[in-house]
Structure 1
Amino acid sequence: MQLNIHSEGIEDHLITLQEKYLNLKTAVLKNLKLNPEEKKGQLKKIKTEYLVEKKNVNGNFY
């Protein structure tokens, strides 16, 4: 039995993950400089984005 594995999809996925990592890293560094009120607003925004992303990921499995 021989498996033919195509790496194009894996490479695209890796590039997407690297871009998301860089965006997250930048956001974390910016958040370190915020005051407490700005952090609360940012946390609420991030939580909303997380829930949307989680819904999209779960939808991709079906």
Structure 2
Amino acid sequence: MRDFHGVIEALKFYLAKDKKTKILDKDVATALKMTQANFATTKRRNSTPYKNVLEFCKDKDLCCGEVFFD
């Protein structure tokens, strides 16, 4: 199972597949429907926002196994 940074990298990879630009933390925060400050706090604590990630996966019809596991 991936840790916080692995989950975020998987989300960045998913968000970047349609774009040519680099995906920043603020883009991930927006996709997860979090404020940038809340995302930064979560990142500093190394605490995965499971509810937000699962809701994102449901909205985008993305298999959560691709995000949480290698």
Q: TM-score, normalised by structure 1?
A: 0.33
Q: Which has the higher contact order (CA 8 A, sep 6+)?
A: 2
Q: TM-score, normalised by structure 2?
A: 0.30
